[in-house]
Structures are given as C-alpha cells and as structure tokens.
Amino acid sequence: MNTINKLKVRLILIAFFAGIILSACDKNVKNTDNILLDKGWEFRQVGTEEWREASVPGCVHNDLLTHGLIENPFIGMNEEKVQWIEKEDWEYRNVFNVSASLLGKASITLNFEGLDTYAIVSLNGQEILQGDNMFIAHKTDVKSYLQKGANELHILFKSPVKKGMEKLQKLDYILKATNEIAPEGERTNIFTRKAPYHFGWDWGPRLVTSGIWRPVEIKAWDLLKVEDVFFAPQSVSKNRANYEAKVTVHVTKEISVKAVLNIPNVLNKEITFDLNEGEQEVSIDFQIDNPKLWWSNGLGEAHLYDVNISFFQEEQELEKYTQKLGVRNLELIQEADSIGRSFYFKLNDVPVFAKGANYIPSEIFNAIQTHETYQRVINDAVKANMNMLRVWGGAVYENDEFYELCDENGILVWQDFMFACALVPGDSLHLENIRKEANYNVKRLRKFASMALWCGNNENLIAWNNWGWKEAYPKKVSDKIWRDYEKVFYEILPEAVANYHPQVSYWASSPQAYGDNMPDRKSGDEHDWTVWFAQAPFENYAKEVPRFVSEYGLQSFPEMTTIKAFTTEDKDLTYRSEVMEHRQRSNMEWIAPGMNGNEMIMRYIKKYYKPAQNFEDFVYLSQLTQAKGLKTAIEAHRRNMPYCMGSLYWQINDCWPTMSWASVDYFGRWKASHYAVKKAFEPIILSVEQTSKVLRVYVISEKLEAFQADLQLHFRKMNGDLLLAENHEIEVLPNTSTICFEMPLFQINFLDARKREMFLQVRLGSDNVLIAENIHLFRKEKDIRFPIPKITTQINIQEDQKILKLNTSHFSKGVQLSVKNEEVFFSDNYFDLIPGKDKEIILETSLDSAQISQNLMINSLADLYKSK
Ligand code: BMA
C-alpha cells in the first residue's frame, strides 16, 4: 500500500473509533472542550518520503535521535556530524478527531504555546498561521477550518539558518555577535527570535533545532473564557494588601455574569458584570487583611494564596480559574550615597542581599526538559542557600513551571529579555516582532511573585562601547545601530514593562551603571571577569567590589563519571585531547595565546595548587580551584555588605555534559564548587581576610535581629595541636557585615609554627550551638606541605538516615568522598577535616552500610602529592 492509501485507511479508522467514543461523550455537554495534541505526530525532512513518529512537544534533533537516524550529539565530536540538520526544512503532521459537540462550540481556537521558529501551519490543507518567533504563543480561530471526524494539521519548519542568511544578505553591514559558533563564518542568529544559545555559546554546542517545543491544544468553549488574570498590587503592607484583579475575559455574546473571587478562609467577593461580545478586561478590587507575606528563601515562608475566580450565568458556572498569589512588596533601590548609588532589592521593607547564580536552560533541546530537572535545579539553588537566579538573556523565557517553583521556594528571579552579546537588527518587522514578544512574556510572567527585575539585555552595552564594536562601523552606520539599540532597550522593552508590569523595575542592560551608563562599580551592577578572562588572581574579587555582582566565575571539569559519559576512548582523557579541545568553547586564542579554557583551568590550578600528576587529579584540582575561587568571591562580596548587595555567579547548571563554569553538571552532580557556594551563602558566615599587615574576621548575618554570640579563634598545627586560642563575646548586627576581630599579622609570627604549617579555625556559637564556622590557611595550598592524614570512618543508621562519621589524624584539605561505581549524594563533600573533631555526613543512597563501607573512596589533597 502506498503512503497516501495508508494515510487514508488510518484516517477512516481513527474517525470511526473516535466517533464511537465521542458520541458517548456528547451526552455530557460541557462549557469547554479541549484536545491536547500531544500524540499521533509524525515528521519528515522536506523532500523525503517517509513519515516517522514524532514527539510533541519536541524537536527535530531529538526525533532523529529517537529513530537512530543520527548519532548522539552529546558524545565525542558527534555534534559536528549533525550540523546538516539546521540547513534543512522539516515537516510535522498530526491527524486528530473532532466531535460534533466540539464543533458546536461557539469559539474554537488552536493554541500553540511555542513554535521553533519559522513555521507555516495548515489545517486541512489551508494555511492558518505563520510563526517567526519561538518566544511567543500563537492562538488562532479555527472553527471554520475544522470538520467533524478526522482533521489534518501540518507544520512546515523552514531552516532558521537559511532564513537568517536571507536577512543577513539584505543588510550592507555585518551586525556583530560574539558567542555564536559559526563554522561557516556568518552569524545569523541575531536575525531570528530564537534562543541564541542554540547557535552555540562558550559552554554549549551548536544544535540549531526546529520543532513544536511547547504544547499544542484545541480549545473550544461556549459563552465565556478567562484568558488572563493579573493581581495588580495597589498597596501592600504587613497590615493590609490591596489588589486589583485584572481579568481578561472573552465572551461569545452579550451576557450578564456574576464573578466570584474567593480565597479559601480569607475572603469571598461577588460582583456582576454586563459583558460585550469579544475580549475585554474586567476588574475586581479586593483586600487581604493581615496578609501572610511572601518571603525569599532564608527570610521566611514563601507563602502563596490560592485565588479562585469563577464566572456564573445565573447558577451555571461558566468558568473557574485558579491562580497563586504571593503577597509582597518588592523594589529595586538605587539611592544616592557618598560613593555613587545603591543597587539592591527591598522585599517587604527588608534590604535583601541577593545570593545566587545565573541560570541557563538545563537542556540544549528545551522541549525535553522535564519537571524533575526544573525541580532539581531549584532544589540545588535552595539547598545552596540561594535567594535569586538570573534567567540570562541568551536563552529562553522559561516555562511557567520554572517560575512556579521559584515562587514556591522563595527564589527571586532577575529576568533578562532574550538578547545577549549581540547587536539587534532595527527593521520595522523585527522591531514589531520584539514588541510582541516583550508584551507576551511580560504578561505571562507578571503573575509570579518571584519576578524581581526585567533586564533588557546581557552585555550589549559593554560590547558596543568596550569590545571595539562602535568603532568598527562608519559613523553613519554606527549611529543607526545605536538608534536601534535605543529603540529596543529604551523604548520597546521598558514600554512593555510599564504597560503590563509597572510594579517591577526595568534595567536596560546587565552590566551597567545608574542612568544607563557604562558600569563603574559605584552604582548599578557589574560582571566581574577580572578573574578568568582577565586572568587576575582570586584576591582581585576583594578589590573595588561592585554594588551588585551579577556575573563572575571560573570553569572546572565535571566529575569523571560525567566525563566518561561523553568520551569513548582512553586517549580522550587528557585535558587537551582532541575531544576536550573540541568541547571547550571558551576559546579566545584569537585575542591572546593561551586564552584556551582548558589551558586557563590549568593555569588557575597552578596558581594555587601543585600540578596534578594524572587526568583524574587534574579534574579534582580543577574543581577545588573553582570552589576556592567562588568561595573567595562570595565572601568578599558579602564582607562588603551593605555597599555590595548581590552576588550571582556564572552559572548554576549546564545544558550538556561539558567542562564549564557550572557548579552542578548536566547530570545534576554537584561539583566541589556547589558545596563551597552552599557554605559561603549560609545565612550567617564568618569570613577571614588576611592583608599584608592584618588578620580580620568578619561576621555577616542576614538575620533581622541582633544577637550575642561567642567567637572562637583557634590557631592550630596540622596535627591539631592548639597554638593560640582567642575567645570573644560579640554582638552580631542584623542584616549586615561587621569586623568582629582584628589582629596585626606579626603577632602570629611568634607562634610555635610557621605559617605554612598551621591553620586557623574560626567558630561562632551560642549556648553550645554552632552557628558558623570557617577555616583559614595562611599560605596558598601549593606552599603547604599537608601531612598524609589517617582518616577513619564509621556508618551509622539513625532514623532512616545513613550517616557517615569521619575522623582524621591531621588537617585534611578538600576531602572528596565517593562510592565506587555508585551514585550517592553526600550532604557535604570536598570539605576540610580537622583533627580531633568528628564530622558527620548524610548519605542519600539505597545502598546498605556494608555496601557503602566496602566501596567508599576517600581522597584529599595530601593524597595527590604523596609521591612528590
Ligand atoms: C557572561 C555571560 C555569557 C557567557 C559567560 C561566560 O558574560 O553573559 O555570555 O557565557 O559570561 O563567558
């Protein structure tokens, strides 16, 4: 049977069986009738014969992979072999059934939540819409196109790269873009409103996919449908919160309705409206007395109310809509001071030091990102004491579920619009497309309590002024490009925020200084890349600390299990093997020799540690170095509180298995740095600063009340012997940083040990409860001869928890725990172990005690240098 006949038989059979089922359902007449089109999809490359099963939501690469038609692009250098896909056009089709009752509904729309990207959609052979922006949803009326029984939906995706090329060729100058990996030299991404990182970034592959990346649904309804709800705060205090519910409703004929707004156990409000045919906004004012406020992680509960809005015609409920509401007041404060201007978020009158990271999508193919992965990333943030993530502008406006999880967990969101490190075309179609995208996403995301800031772009301003871009064009062209910048970032985007989400601030570019000026560290935010790109030592983090550090970081390799998942041969396992060189995307050797990421990792290791003797040790040291860098940075930022009020490192996650700045790898495995970040972001920390002359201890607290505590300093030899003890009762001030101890460094010279033979343990406690602890070394690790420790272990089961108890004979640096061939999560890892003091670690594993003890592996810095 040929393909057309096969299709006909399929259509008849589907229509028959669906007819039976649907006629049974017809008896149950409902106001709405929806069909989620998530099954029965097929795809093929344009110009080929065979249709194959496809996943929706999904994408071409993933479908090809499922059918074994391409090799896994995550392995080795396979990415190169699949580059042809981006230059082809692809088709998707679906045959679905429509019942008579659905057809009888007054309004029927086809809703695409996301088409990636250049899509031509036809229904039963007639074109119904065209898409050219992956970041917006499409909704189109299909009542007159549908028929009872089988219907065929067809989508043609044109190659985004070819489309981009057409646009590029129309311009007589090249628009700059840095990060796109362009094997053929032309950077086309800027012409397409599609995730920039799909075209390659300095931590990700180039896999320019196409597909239906978010759900597709037929929505059919009679009389009334709620399209959108926004609870616009009028005033919020701890005594009272006043809101205006702005409800967009669509009605199919003039009707009179009763709306009931209900918050269980809090309020119930009824109001009647006379509605005209079509879409309109109605407003319902309501007030919550003594509201439970929404707090960010660490400051209190992230309380969310369930607000139900129902519409009734007489006694028949036409529609019920439920939305969460987090009651909170959030402002970006930029007050003039003696140095410049502050830059911090004030939540319910409390200045919040933003602790967090930059977030990228956890998959290169967005459609395959699961709820579990979203949950895992947000849990990783929460576990590491974070209260903010920055959704960076080279990626996507995330799915609702990401923001829902942020709302539930008190994670504030710094939201970039999707523009990064590139110039933006200024033709009217492109600008109109951007306007639609901005309006759509601001309206979609404004309902989330976690939304803290809208930011125009990532690094476009500094790129223009500092990366030689402005000068690269003749004056007339550069004036035009700058005018286009102004149109997008000073008009279109802030207008969208002002129109739909005026309660949240707009910040045109990250980084920049107050007044849209170039970053100056005296106001605004800063990306501190002195460490890594400028190759400065970690001590630099403490110099000229900015007001809010929205990016900084350094790379490491992921653990060996992850590395083995993307390599195939032993020869791959060296830090500059062909596979590792290929995967390392931070390569700026065109600027200066040695600016290759793998080499830079090695150089940073050598700054602080003795070099590794084999690849595994190199991987371990790369992680210790990254952990040390992030610890140094976070502590420096927090010590400078309230001058500095934010520390978001680059980056919490990965979109494929690779070496990168991530603190948690693609598979969710914590690197040493994530443990270090967790400690440095504790609500209360002690931080030691050693200058050439003094030793200072700072206490940093985000608690809102002052309290008395005991500060203890123990200067010890590596075997634990006490050289000097200092005990002080101190007052810990609320929500700030204070110096709680200071001594001239020369005093330590009189101790009975040299600085490279000792360590300092600082502890803060109250009523015998340990509040904070830190360890300070007086020399770089590479200048310290760590004695080989004897570490003893014991596994106890307490209330279903598996607890590993460790004890050491000597100070042990960077103790790394693993269980051979098993996936075990350790509550702490890559830690320092102090003699004379047991350390307990909780293990998440299904293994029993015997299995753990038999296969437990312990490594520490001293082990690396045994034979040296
Ligand atoms: C930042 C980001 C990204 C980039 C990262 C590492 O500046 O904005 O563009 O991936 O640095 O280079």
> Cα–Cα distances in Å, from 145 out to 40, 693, 814?
20, 80, 66
CA–CA dist 774, 763 (Å, integer):
7
Check pocket membership of 419 for ligand 1, CB cut-off 6 A: no
User: Can you give the pTM of this predicted structure?
Assistant: 0.95
Which residue's entry shows tokens 């634990």? 720
198, 551, 656, best to mutate for ligand 1 pocket (most atoms within 8 Å of CB):
551
For residue 338, how many other CB atoms are within 10 A of its CB? 4
What mean pLDDT is reported for the chain?
A: 95
Task: Give the Å distance between the CA of 334 and the centre of ligand 1.
Answer: 25
Check pocket membership of 527 for ligand 1, CB cut-off 6 A: yes
pLDDT score at 251: 96
The mean per-residue pLDDT over the stretch 102-120 comes to 97
Q: What is the pLDDT of residues 752-792, one digit of tens each?
A: 888 899 999 999 999 999 999 999 999 999 999 899 999 99
Q: Residue 1 — pLDDT band, cuts 50, 70, 90?
A: very low
pLDDT score at 16: 43
Check pocket membership of 554 for ligand 1, CB cut-off 6 A: no
Protein residue whose Cα sits closest to atom 12 of ligand 1: 202
User: What are the φ and ψ backbone dihedral angles of 526, each rounded to 5 degrees?
Assistant: -145, 145
CA–CA dist 423, 483 (Å, integer):
11
pLDDT score at 798: 86
CA–CA dist 592, 758 (Å, integer):
39
CA–CA dist 539, 650 (Å, integer):
18
Q: Do 665 and 656 meet the contact criterion of CB atoms below 8 Å apart?
A: no
> Cα–Cα distances in Å, from 76 out to 569, 581, 628, 658?
9, 11, 30, 11
Q: Is the pLDDT of residue 170 over 70?
A: yes
Task: Give the Å distance between the CA of 383 and the centre of ligand 1.
Answer: 24
Q: What angle do CA 412, 415, 417 make, to 5 degrees?
A: 175
pLDDT score at 14: 44
Check pocket membership of 526 for ligand 1, CB cut-off 6 A: no
For residue 184, how many other CB atoms are within 10 A of its CB? 10
Ligand 1 atom closest to the CA of 586, numbered from 1: 12
Ligand 1 atom closest to the CA of 420, numbered from 1: 9
pLDDT score at 865: 77
pLDDT score at 394: 98
User: What are the φ and ψ backbone dihedral angles of 725, each rounded to 5 degrees?
Assistant: -125, 140
pLDDT score at 30: 59
Q: Is the pLDDT of residue 25 over 60?
A: no
Helices 493-500/428-445 angle, 10° precision: 30
Task: Give the Å distance between the CA of 415 and the centre of ligand 1.
Answer: 15
pLDDT score at 753: 82
3-class DSSP assignment, residue 439: helix
3-class DSSP assignment, residue 40: coil
Check pocket membership of 420 for ligand 1, CB cut-off 6 A: yes
CA–CA dist 58, 346 (Å, integer):
40
Protein residue whose Cα sits closest to atom 4 of ligand 1: 202
Protein residue whose Cα sits closest to atom 10 of ligand 1: 202
Check pocket membership of 458 for ligand 1, CB cut-off 6 A: yes
Check pocket membership of 650 for ligand 1, CB cut-off 6 A: yes
Task: Give the Å distance between the CA of 518 and the centre of ligand 1.
Answer: 17
3-class DSSP assignment, residue 600: helix
The percent of residues in the chain predicted with pLDDT above 70, rounded, is 96
CA–CA dist 345, 31 (Å, integer):
44
Check pocket membership of 202 for ligand 1, CB cut-off 6 A: yes
Q: What is the pLDDT of residues 564-615, one digit of tens each?
A: 999 999 999 999 999 999 999 999 888 888 899 999 999 999 999 999 999 9
Task: Give the Å distance between the CA of 169 and the centre of ligand 1.
Answer: 28
Q: Do 129 and 139 meet the contact criterion of CB atoms below 8 Å apart?
A: no
pLDDT score at 4: 43
CA–CA dist 532, 519 (Å, integer):
19
CA–CA dist 170, 229 (Å, integer):
42
Ligand 1 atom closest to the CA of 394, numbered from 1: 9
Q: Is the pLDDT of residue 41 over 90?
A: yes
3-class DSSP assignment, residue 693: coil
Check pocket membership of 359 for ligand 1, CB cut-off 6 A: no
pLDDT score at 405: 98
CA–CA dist 526, 545 (Å, integer):
9
Q: Is the pLDDT of residue 15 over 50?
A: no
The percent of residues in the chain predicted with pLDDT above 90, rounded, is 91
Q: Is the pLDDT of residue 209 over 80?
A: yes
Task: Give the Å distance between the CA of 803 and the centre of ligand 1.
Answer: 39
pLDDT score at 867: 52
pLDDT score at 592: 85
CA–CA dist 64, 365 (Å, integer):
13
pLDDT score at 764: 98
CA–CA dist 1, 772 (Å, integer):
74
The mean per-residue pLDDT over the stretch 286-299 comes to 98
Residue closest to 497 by CA, chosen among 431, 433, 439, 432: 439
198, 458, 556, 656, best to mutate for ligand 1 pocket (most atoms within 8 Å of CB):
458
Residue type, 659: M
CA–CA dist 482, 488 (Å, integer):
10
CA–CA dist 524, 781 (Å, integer):
35
Q: What is the 3-state secondary structure of 158-172? A: CCHHHHHHHHHHHCC
The kind and range of the H/E element at 62 are helix 60-66
Q: Is the pLDDT of residue 743 over 50?
A: yes
Q: Is the pLDDT of residue 396 over 50?
A: yes
